[in-house]
Amino acid sequence: MDKNSSIDELINTKGIKGPFYRAGLFITKKLFYRKNSSYYRKIYEKNSLLYSPAKAHDMTYAYFTEKFGLMLMCLVFGGVLIILLCLKGNDSSKLVNGTTLIRNPSDGKSYEVVLNAKVGNKEYKNISIEVAEQKLSEDEFYDSMDEFCKKIDKEILGSNKSIDMVTEDLILLNSLDGYPYTIKWTSSSRHVVNSKGKLWDKGYSLTDDSQIVTLSAEISYGNYTYIYEFAVKVATPNLSEEDQMVIKIRDLVNESSEKTKGDKEFVLPNSIDSTEIIWSEEKKSKATLFVLILILSLLAIFFGKDKDISRKIDKRQEEMLDDYPEIVSKLALLTGAGMSIRNAWKKISLDYKASGSLKRFIYDEMVITTGEMESGVEEAVCFAHFTSRVKLQKYVKLVSLLQQNLHKGTKTFMDDLANEAREAFFEKKNNAEKLGEKAGTKLMLPMFMMLLIVVIVIMVPAFSSM
């Protein structure tokens, strides 16, 4: 088979990977295949365990082609990325004319730059310098207050149309985009409007009229401070009778708390509107959560155990299929040496018992069948019991061959058994190839994840130092 055509069949050389795979093929030919290096032989020996000799060479060739192709692709794209980062770093240099550093605007942040300094004939490297953002003067700060306060008036409204009729929570921000100032809020009535803009806090007193509340914004920048005060009119909420009673109870509690704030004990009010109040503590029970967890655990156990059985059955079947070529080969060898089917079956069973090796399901079934034969049961019946227990088509086929020989004594029995052994080993080898290809595919994700990590490690420091 032509190498280029075989590689095209084993590896998809179309798309963006194509040129890199072709370059990888060239490297493989020049450095590994022609020189027949020890590394090539090592990989070939591993592949020869999975594939036929001819295909092992093709798979080894494809292995190196794909490997070097991916390495070249990573090298090219990684190199381009590094070059772009270097160019980006040069374009965004903070040092101008060799003596000047550019500050960030006043609404920006300070940054750190690493410089080298040459004093006389001696150079000092990696000197870390912190460059603070540009600072506003006192006049610039106070001159900007009119515009800044107008933006505050607009931003705090939220879904309200005007501060003259506030029905929804206000948005009292701690800062505004585009300004390096911090804002601290206070309210003349925190129960009506608190410092976060929430209306009608839990401890407010209910009135029928709207409430006029003065909000104060303390605007700070360094050592400079400006106080901006304004009034808002807050509408009384439409509350149910139950909510109104809760509010009255809270008012009484707050009043009692204020009177006894210096005492160790806080006595709750015992009546409201001449009606006795009986207090009890609301306790949160975790029983509901544990009941839910218990139900889920029971369901997990119920269905999980079924899956455990299914997994064990699947494992048993896989093990039996894996042992099939060996069983057929042993039967062919022993019957070819002149043993009867019964004696060959018995010898395989006794050898397994005598070896004391790990438990193998199919050999255990053969031991059971041998026991039935020894107890006087006919061989045909014993084999029928064997297939009913194993429940695998391959073993049904094997028993069918054995029974044909018992009943008819076919002349081609030895050839048929030898052919079955060869086919079984060939199929086992093909399955091993598929598993190997699947494992190779699964390795692609970790490789690209590692590449992503490398890119992040390169990019994050580069951008963070800008």
Q: Which two tokens stand for residue 4?
A: 């280029």
- Is 341:405 a contact under the CB 8 Å cutoff? yes
pLDDT at 298: 65
pLDDT at 43: 73
In the chain, where are the structural domains located?
3-91, 107-131, 140-238, 316-444
- Is 421:325 a contact under the CB 8 Å cutoff? yes
Give the Å distances, CA to CA, from 436 to 10, 13, 49, 59, 423.
13, 20, 11, 11, 20
CATH architecture of 140-238: Sandwich (2.60)
Half-sphere exposure of residue 3, counting CA atoms within 13 Å on the CB side?
Answer: 15
pLDDT in single tens digits along all 466 residues of the chain: 444 545 556 666 666 777 777 777 777 777 755 546 677 777 777 666 555 556 777 777 777 777 777 788 888 887 777 777 767 655 556 667 776 777 777 666 777 777 777 777 777 777 777 777 778 888 888 888 999 898 988 888 888 888 888 888 888 888 888 888 899 988 888 778 888 888 865 445 555 567 788 889 999 988 889 999 988 888 777 666 777 777 778 778 877 877 777 777 777 888 888 888 887 776 665 666 667 777 777 677 656 655 766 787 788 888 888 888 888 888 888 888 888 888 999 999 999 988 877 888 889 889 989 999 999 888 889 989 888 888 888 889 888 888 887 776 666 788 888 888 888 888 878 877 777 776 666 677 777 788 788 777 777 666 665 5
DSSP state of 196: T
- Is 172:197 a contact under the CB 8 Å cutoff? yes
Q: Which two tokens stand for residue 102?
A: 């550019």
Report the amino acid identity of residue 422. R
Q: Pairing mode, if any, of strands 271-272 and 224-234? A: unpaired
pLDDT at 370: 92
Q: Which two tokens stand for residue 185?
A: 């809020």
Handedness of CA 432, 433, 436, 438 (dihedral sign): negative
Listed in sequence order, the residues at least 6 apart from 201 whose beta carbon sits closer than 8 Å to its beta carbon are 190, 191, 192, 194
SS3 of 123, please? strand
pLDDT at 35: 47
The DSSP secondary structure of 370-432, one letter per residue, reads HHHHHTT--HHHHHHHHHHHH--HHHHHHHHHHHHHHHH--TTHHHHHHHHHHHHHHHHHHHH
Q: Pairing mode, if any, of strands 224-234 and 275-276? A: unpaired
pLDDT at 9: 61
Listed in sequence order, the residues at least 6 apart from 416 whose beta carbon sits closer than 8 Å to its beta carbon are 401, 410
Closest CA to 217 of 136, 143, 155: 155
pLDDT at 371: 92
- Is 235:213 a contact under the CB 8 Å cutoff? no
